[in-house]
Amino acid sequence: MNMPKRTNFHPDRPTPTRRAVAAGALAVLLAGGTPAAAAEVEVDLQLVLAVDASGSVNMYRFELQKRGYAAAFRNPRVLSAIRSGMSQAIAVTMHQWTGPRLQVHVVPWMVVKDEASAEALAAAIENTPRKLFGGGTSISGAIDYSRLILAQSPFTATRRTIDVSGDGANNIGRPARVARDEAVRDGITINGLPILSVEPDLDTYYFENVIGGPGAVMVPADSYESFAEAILKKLIIEIASDDPEVLRAALP
């Protein structure tokens, strides 16, 4: 098993059966394309954004998460990272999560390859309302649901990544590290963005129980107010992980 390295930016662990992803929730948004055409699209990265909507996340904090993701995809440094890949495109989707059986797929798979598609994704994230408001904090449930979404992806890619952000440790459902280990055995990388507002040592928990797989990344945010900066760094690292020159140019 590939073990993640622990640094300040942290760039360099499978089989749920309880629910299926509805086909309608996996509609593909491609400029000028169709779901059938999407089946033939190869991208450099398939990225699932799993966003915490548990009870500890009030509406102000939830909005800060959304704005942070939207701002990151509007940042030209993220687009530069995308263009550093062979296909010069990635596929991104987002779901909100709380308890073991409480997840909602809120942004369907979208290809990001240029300014227009990056703006389309940012707008989709920005305009998505909150769908969940409590039910515990099940990181394992978020990982399992993300794997189901990846299994239904209409794209092919050399890298598949689940990007988990949250402000608490797993407190309901099966242990997070069990879900993590199953996903990693399936060839999936899990990256983490622990928000330290509620649990100051959450980065240690994420390092030991959540992140894993090839090139695993963990970038903590000291607070919700610093979430936007942290997600920008993490997206650049995970998208351009194979290009050290792009990383050096993109990161301060």
Question: Could you list the residue range(s) of the whole structural domain that residue 131 is in?
Answer: 41-250
Domain count, the chain: 1
List all residues 6 or more positions away from 197 whose beta carbon is below 8 Å from its beta carbon: 61, 167, 222, 223, 224
- Strand runs labelled E in the chain: 42-52, 90-97, 103-112, 156-166, 189-194
Helix 227-239 and helix 59-74: axis angle, to 10°? 40
> Which residues, at least 6 apart from 19, have a Cβ–Cβ distance to it below 8 Å?
101, 145, 148
Helices (H), 152-197: 176-185
Which comes out higher in pLDDT, residue 4 or 107?
107
pLDDT tens for each residue of 24-34: 333 333 333 33
CATH of the domain at 147: 3.40.50.410
Do the domain assignments include residue 54? yes
**Whether the Cβ atoms of residue 188 and residue 147 lie closer than 8 Å to each other:** yes
26 in a domain, yes or no? no
- Cβ-proximal residues to 13 (8 Å cutoff; 6+ apart), any chain: 1, 3, 177, 180, 181, 183, 184, 185, 190, 212, 213
Instruction: Report the chain's mean pLDDT, rounded to a whole number.
Output: 85
Q: What is the pTM of this model?
A: 0.83
Give residue 144's identity as a one-letter amino acid code. D
Report, as an integer, the average pLDDT of 60-68: 93
Which candidate, 249, 185, 244, places its Cα nearest to that of 212? 185
Identify whether 103 is part of a domain: yes
Question: Do the domain assignments include residue 48?
Answer: yes
In tens, the pLDDT along 125-137 reads 999 999 999 899 9
Q: What is the DSSP string of 186-233?
A: TT-EEEEEEBTTS-TTHHHHHHHHT-BSTT--B--BSSGGGHHHHHHH
- In this structure, the strands spanning 42-52 and 90-97 are parallel
Burial string for 192-224 (b: 16+ CB within 10 Å, else e) reads: bbbbbbbbeebbebbbebbbbbebbbbbbbeeb
- Domain assignment present for residue 3? The answer is no
Main-chain phi, psi angles of 149, to 5 degrees: -65, -45
Encoding tokens for residue 102?
Answer: 């409480």
Beta-strand pair 189-194/103-112: unpaired
Specify if 29 maps to a domain. Answer: no
In a domain, 147, yes or no: yes
Cα angle vertex 25, ends 134, 66, to 5°? 50
Domain for residue 185, yes or no?
yes
* Alpha carbon 171 to its chain's center: 20
pLDDT single digits (tens) 194-245: 999 999 999 999 999 999 999 899 999 999 999 999 999 999 999 986 666 6
